[in-house]
Structure 1
Amino acid sequence: MKSPLSHLTLADILERTIELSQTAAVILKSYYRVSRDRLEVLDKAEGPVTVADKAVDRHLLDGIQAMCGDSCGYLTEETYQAGDLELPQDWVWIIDPLDGTRDFIDKTGEYAIHIALTYQHRPVLAVIAIPESDRVYAAIAGGGTYQIDADGLRTVVRVKGGKDLSELIIVASRNHRSKKLIELLARLPCQQQLKVGSIGCKIAAIVEHHADIYVSLSGTSAPKDWDLAAPELILTEAGGKFTHQDGSCLKYNCGDVSQWGCLVASTGEWHQQLLDACV
């Protein structure tokens, strides 16, 4: 696939995005270690926002816009306004500067940075940085997923199968657990759960073989494009699957940034059986 920039390949853009995510992680870690009152927490309907969210959002936007300019659209959690229309560009960056703000505030360590580049509504490049583990996950469509550790070592990561359906481990939220979701999870043919914060951290748990399934079920609200675009590509390029309950793929920058309904992410081995159990 061609790059949105004539002078840079997607691989070039990915390298620059990885570097940007690493400097953003340093900023987040500096805020993570201050007291709650210095974070200037603002509670909003969709969840809390802090000065850390805003600082990293600005850092990422400045860096990516310096690289791509007007050749791309930009959709971020901190700049989106309710009612905004679909961005007209074929290439759109979708960014969450701090996924897992509640976990960031509560000091669980399970927060992440999500950066995805989409082309015609589908992700083609993704980076997830997890500051507290000093790890970055990166992928280009068709190129697999790899992890970068604190020493810069790059390792290809793949999901792991071989379990019976009943042995699968569900990675679930501590905070976003509606009655409907609890009831749905109780119907699944597997009942082991691992509690993890950010969606990026959840997907990292799957590609690192600590869990096998993640299920999202919207209620009065739903996960947004910036929650899912980067995690989806990281998982699928590692061999997993991430779909709506009917098996259809997710699409991004479609006007409504909410991803309504039931979404299932898995190692892929029992994906259809899990979809059937979520009806």
Structure 2
Amino acid sequence: MKSHGYKNMFEKVIETARKAGRATLEYYSQEIEVETKSDDSPLTKADLAAHEIIIAGLKEIDPDTPVISEEGGLPGYEERKNWNKFWIADPLDGTKEFIKKNGEFTINIALIEDGEPVFGVVYVPAKEITYYGSKENGSFKQEGDAEPVRIYSDKADTNIPLTVVKSRSHGSSDLQDKLKEQGITIKEAIPAGSSIKFCLVAEGKADLYPRMGPTMEWDVAAGDCVYRNSAKEGQHSSPLKYNKPDLKNEGFIIGL
């Protein structure tokens, strides 16, 4: 990937994520109407508004690259298996946090090339914080209109007690026991919503993000990219894979 060929496009994608985020805030201040999808997960008008903005934005920015969105139809694997490049988006990650109005929801957009996220943006609308990372340029955090700051993380040292970040809405009561089986001792567990968990590890505020339950690729791609490219040299490895037949991830640990 040539960074100079992508830089302008990535800036436009970041602005698209912010535009989608601003649209969600229009619903955030109102009484939130919630529907239930076929998998029992919640859906709001904000999810759909952000989806429309992201799809339109990516079509204008990069019309030749296919897009997968949580709120769009999923193309079959026979069609997808030969894709070497595609965008994947979660228009509103952390809908449960949005409904609770705790501010911990995000807009996630990532570009996958050859099974790897090469660019990702995680925007936190309620806090006006943008995290983004690319394979060529590393990972950054931007608060409001301030200058972006490069963020770094180290691989966790499992010989010492560690700070872990855990899901606020999908917690595992036996998290500590499961980590202990892998020789990991918890010093502190920080609850957080949505892809913010990846970003807390990427900026060094937490050592590990263990996820025991399933997720989908659109949930993790942008945050995973920010984490991978927060290494001080090269990239961190990640257990996550992309463009699988069903797009479903089993449990994983980020930070090892």
State the TM-score, normalized to the length of structure 1.
0.81
**Residue aligning to 2:17:** 21
**Distance in 2 between the 1:176 and 1:57 partners?**
23
Say whether the 8 Å CA contact 2:17–2:121 is kept in structure 1: yes
**Residue aligning to 1:214:** 209
Percent identity at matched positions?
A: 27
**Residue aligning to 2:73:** 80
**CA gap 1:165/1:28 in 2 versus in 1, 3 angstroms:** farther
Give the 3-state SS of the residue equivalent to 2:168 in structure 1. Answer: coil
1:10 pairs with 6, 30, 41, which one? 6
Say whether the 8 Å CA contact 2:104–2:196 is kept in structure 1: yes
Once the two structures are TM-superposed, the CA of residue 204 in structure 1 deviates from its matched residue by 1.9
Structural mapping, 1:218-257, within 5 Å = 218=213, 222-239=214-231, 241=236, 243-244=238-239, 250-257=240-247
**Distance in 2 between the 1:92 and 1:212 partners?**
30
**Residue aligning to 1:265:** 254
Once the two structures are TM-superposed, the CA of residue 255 in structure 1 deviates from its matched residue by 2.1
Which amino acid in structure 1 is aligned with residue 6 of structure 2? L
Once the two structures are TM-superposed, the CA of residue 243 in structure 1 deviates from its matched residue by 2.8
**Residue aligning to 1:173:** 167
Say whether the 8 Å CA contact 1:110–1:197 is kept in structure 2: yes
Which amino acid in structure 2 is aligned with residue 238 of structure 1? S
Once the two structures are TM-superposed, the CA of residue 94 in structure 1 deviates from its matched residue by 0.5
Which amino acid in structure 2 is aligned with residue 192 of structure 1? E
Once the two structures are TM-superposed, the CA of residue 146 in structure 1 deviates from its matched residue by 1.1
Say whether the 8 Å CA contact 1:116–1:127 is kept in structure 2: yes
Say whether the 8 Å CA contact 1:242–1:263 is kept in structure 2: no
Once the two structures are TM-superposed, the CA of residue 217 in structure 1 deviates from its matched residue by 2.1
**Distance in 2 between the 1:225 and 1:120 partners?**
14
Range that drifts further, 50-59 or 155-164? 155-164
Give the 3-state SS of the residue equivalent to 1:137 in structure 2. Answer: strand
Which amino acid in structure 2 is aligned with residue 27 of structure 1? A
**Distance in 1 between the 2:18 and 2:124 partners?**
9
**Distance in 1 between the 2:227 and 2:90 partners?**
17
**Distance in 2 between the 1:107 and 1:134 partners?**
15
State the TM-score, normalized to the length of structure 2.
0.88
Give the 3-state SS of the residue equivalent to 1:252 in structure 2. Answer: coil
Mark the runs of 5 or more structure 1 residues left unpaired by the alignment: 245-249, 272-279
Say whether the 8 Å CA contact 1:126–1:233 is kept in structure 2: yes
Which amino acid in structure 1 is aligned with residue 225 of structure 2? L
CA deviation map 1:217-273 (0-9, x unaligned): 23xxx21110111111101111174533xxxxx22122211012x31111xxxx2xx
Say whether the 8 Å CA contact 1:10–1:140 is kept in structure 2: no
Once the two structures are TM-superposed, the CA of residue 185 in structure 1 deviates from its matched residue by 3.8
**Distance in 1 between the 2:237 and 2:210 partners?**
10
Mark the runs of 5 or more structure 2 residues left unpaired by the alignment: none
**Residue aligning to 1:274:** none
**Distance in 2 between the 1:85 and 1:18 partners?**
30
**CA gap 1:189/1:127 in 2 versus in 1, 3 angstroms:** same
**Residue aligning to 1:155:** 149
Say whether the 8 Å CA contact 1:86–1:253 is kept in structure 2: no
Which amino acid in structure 1 is aligned with residue 93 of structure 2? D
Q: What is the alpha-carbon root mean square deviation over aligned residues?
A: 2.4
